[in-house]
Amino acid sequence: MIKYEVVEIEEPDFGCEGRPDEAVPMAKVTLRSVKDGVMTMAEIADGYLYQEEIDEGSIIYQNDAGIWRK
């Protein structure tokens, strides 16, 4: 299991047209591997980040089911 530090969270911007009703707002999350410093990007549901209290500076990992955990 690789642990990552959340470097930046870019919240979704739907512009003047707004978010489509069926769309789940996804945040672009910049991650840095704690092990080797390699940077990567992930899209994570914005509401899930709030629910799990994942903020910039949090250490997270992705479990076997593909779910990000703190």
- What global pTM score does this model have? 0.85
pLDDT of residue 12: 74
Give the Cα separation of 1 and 17 in Å (integer).
40
Per DSSP, helices labelled H in 1-70 are 46-51
- What is the chain's pLDDT, residue by residue, as a tens digit (70 residues)? 899 999 999 987 656 666 666 778 899 999 999 999 999 999 999 999 999 999 999 999 999 999 999 9
pLDDT of residue 16: 63
pLDDT of residue 22: 74
Q: Domains along the chain?
A: 3-12+23-69 (2.40.50)
Sign of CA dihedral 51, 57, 58, 63: positive
Q: Which residue has the tokens 């996804």?
A: 26
